[in-house]
Amino acid sequence: MNTITANLTALREKIARTCVAHGRDPHDVNLVAVSKLQPPERIAQALAAGQRLFGENRVQEAKAHWADLRAQYPDLKLHLIGPLRTNKVSSAVALFDCIETVDRPSLADDLAKEMKKQGRNLPCFIQVNTGEEEQKDGVAPAGLPPLLDHCRKAGMAIRGLMCIPPVDEPPGPHFALLKKLVQRHGLADLSMGMSADFEQAIALGATYIRVGTALFGKRAITEKKSSPRHSDRTC
């Protein structure tokens, strides 16, 4: 058994144990394998081990990873978990199965228009900046109601909320806040929790956890710090 297969088995067992401990059905928690900056051989090992849900931070890198694999794995699902800029909307709608980082009305409008053009009604999440950090993407909690209303009027299928807690704060209060917001607004899904804290996220209701390091190991390639607005806590 290779390392990634062993890691995936261990992750699934830990997810199941955590769910049982908190009275949850393990089938209600989806493992998003964060494949950013991973070499093709590691991704191939994860696919061979049965993983079919992956998260990517950047549209261009996702194209490089997945363009040729789509035909081989028709049950593959890709989530965009990094910031989306206007000039990448068309490519993102064509490539991904879910956009987790809707955070402003202009992006919602562009996505709704492009989805209609391509005939794809993708489920989306709104990214909430629970720590209200100036350098980070996401709508502030107080700005969520008008943004959610805007998205719904645009015809978008908003399924849930996503957050990336501040690096220097305990994640629990941020997970709890996101859960309250999901319940308050009648949404179904919570994308929260990463390699170091996904058990706590599951305990607080996460339906999607984004795990990179615990599955793939430390990345051999260091991500360029081109923008400070998206924390490396993603995985």
Measured distance CA(164)–CA(130) in Å, rounded:
8
| pLDDT tens profile 212-228 | 999 998 876 555 544 44
Q: What is the pLDDT at residue 202? A: 98
User: pTM to 2 decimals?
Assistant: 0.93
Q: Where are the beta strands (DSSP E) in the chain?
A: 30-34, 53-56, 77-80, 98-102, 123-127, 157-162, 189-191, 208-211
Query: What long-range pairs does 25-28 form, CB within 8 A, spacing at least 24?
Result: 28/207
Query: What long-range pairs does 9-18 form, CB within 8 A, spacing at least 24?
Result: 9/49, 11/211, 11/214, 11/215, 14/199, 15/198, 15/202, 15/209, 18/199, 18/202, 18/203
* Structural domains of the chain in order of their starting residue, each with its CATH number: 3-234 (3.20.20.10)
**Which residues in the chain show pLDDT less than 50?**
225-232, 234
Cα Rg of the chain (Å, integer): 17
